[in-house]
Chain A
């Protein structure tokens, strides 16, 4: 008797986790991924010279064995993440105060709004050539591109957030005798939080693309560099491995770093309804 009830108690959390997985569409997702891999294998087997044009999933996995064994892949991923983190932290530190400062004055923000919109539309890849002209194939070039890429979406979204603060909240604080600085701290920044979070997510997302592109043209080591050199060496399996890693790592950054920050502040305040 005791044994069987222990067994039931022991099995319970596992089955709960399974049910959550099923309810969250986990089964469908696994089937979808399996389907894509299957289709990929079928195509790979029916074209001439798949090693050059489209290596099968199995050979991609096997090629990863080689780069992991030599310690290259972890090293490259670390290098790329390091560039992303430094670049986007500086981007956030500059972009958020800049966006807030512009948003404080209506005339100034009206003037800067189209300019900010203009620059945020020019992607990092589009400015890479001129940066290479200025700073050559150096580490500096990669950082400048990342910084540029995340600065404008962050600053632009923060500016939008500050501008869309309901006037009545600002007025309520003014009638309580609040100073300008306090209005910024207690009203404008919290009110702009959803936009700040969106800006950060967009900016870091763009920066993730920019760092890969930057590494291809100007970097040493890193995932982008790996893809580029693998193509030169005719190692298509490694090129695909690099692409897959880029996507997988981004999903992990988004899921475990960016989304929780958003959920923690904004949803608790009821600013975004789910």
Chain B
């Protein structure tokens, strides 16, 4: 299988906003995500996860190493990489339908085709009936469904997700995780999902990349051998094929968090 996203010996330094000191955020990170694969990046806070995502999205220029999508070096943001941000990234002055169709509007797709596509994704993420609502009329979970649909609708090669469910309540999060799994299977998207939540990473990922503390390094890669079609929370919790790698990831992440106390 060809790799859609290839990161090769990527390092990143930046001066601290207040002290001006050099911060070493990423150190020689190499990883690749294959076509249609769901990969999760998990690590303690401040491990450079968000820095990595911003570089992959092209929002942050990289100086050392390379990032390639579909064989092309990343230089600035582009519609080949769609991003779902942590929260509040949909436009408050656009209705749900107009937010979701925004990418296609930018791509200058004719109106009729656009509306057809938009409706398809509104149905896919379960926002039917809310097409003409404004974001402030939606719950946190629905806002994220809208953001997800907007990114999917623009049909990127790779989808980058930056802790998209971190700001919603626990009940909604469980539903959204199952929904995202279903949608990812249905659309066969190549996804890189960033989270600090070990359960979430293991539930969603085909593979999980575990990052060390700053400077962020790829510490280990753990494969989850449960077919994605079978991933439903109530069944998975007693499944060894899920709990074993999950515990392994938890152990690896905890080592990073509690390193100081040894």
Which A residues have a C-beta under 8 Å from some C-beta of B?
A: 166, 168-169, 171-179, 182, 186-187, 190-191, 193, 265, 268-271
Contact = CB atoms under 8 A, between A and B. Distances in A.
A216 B121 CA distance: 63
A269 B81 contact: no
B91 A177 contact: no
Nearest to B150: A176
A186 B59 contact: no
Contacts of A186: 91, 102
B106 interface: yes
B163 to A, nearest CB: 13
B142 interface: no
B117 to A, nearest CB: 14
B79 interface: yes
Interface string B46-64: 0000000000011100000
B88 A166 contact: yes
Contacts of B90: 172
Interface string B102-116: 110011000000000
Among the interface residues B57, B89, B103, B135, which one has the most CB atoms of the partner chain A within 10 A?
A: B89
Contacts of A178: 106
Given A174-B59, A176-B82, A268-B134, 19 more contacts: A171-B85, A172-B85, A172-B90, A174-B77, A175-B57, A175-B83, A176-B79, A176-B102, A176-B103, A176-B106, A176-B150, A177-B79, A177-B103, A182-B106, A187-B91, A269-B93, A269-B136, A270-B134, A270-B135
Contacts, number: 68
B93 to A, nearest CB: 4
B137 A176 contact: no
Contact of A269 (B88, B92, B150): B92
Given A166-B88, A269-B136, A271-B92, A172 B106 contact: no
Contacts of A269: 92-93, 134, 136
Interface string B80-102: 01110100111111000000001
Contacts of B150: 176
Contacts of B71: none
A168 B137 contact: no
Contacts of B134: 268-270
B78 A177 contact: yes
A194 to B, nearest CB: 11
Contacts of A271: 92-93
Contacts of A175: 57-59, 77-79, 81-83
B154 interface: yes
Given A172-B85, A270-B137, A177 B93 contact: no
Closest 3 CB pairs of A and B: A270-B136, A177-B79, A172-B89
Nearest to B147: A172
Contacts of B136: 269-270
Contacts of A190: 91, 93
Nearest to A273: B136
Contacts of B102: 173, 176, 186
A171 B135 CA distance: 18
Contacts of B58: 174-175
A81 B150 CA distance: 47
Contacts of B88: 166, 168-169
Nearest to A172: B89
A175 B93 CA distance: 19
Nearest to A187: B91
A169 B88 CA distance: 8
Contacts of B83: 171-172, 175
A152 B70 CA distance: 50
Contacts of B57: 171, 175
Nearest to B77: A174
B82 to A, nearest CB: 7
A173 B78 CA distance: 10
B137 A177 contact: no
A30 B102 CA distance: 51
A197 B106 CA distance: 28
21 contacts: A168-B85, A168-B89, A169-B89, A171-B77, A173-B102, A174-B59, A175-B57, A175-B58, A175-B59, A175-B77, A175-B81, A175-B83, A176-B103, A176-B154, A177-B78, A177-B154, A190-B93, A269-B92, A270-B135, A270-B136, A271-B92
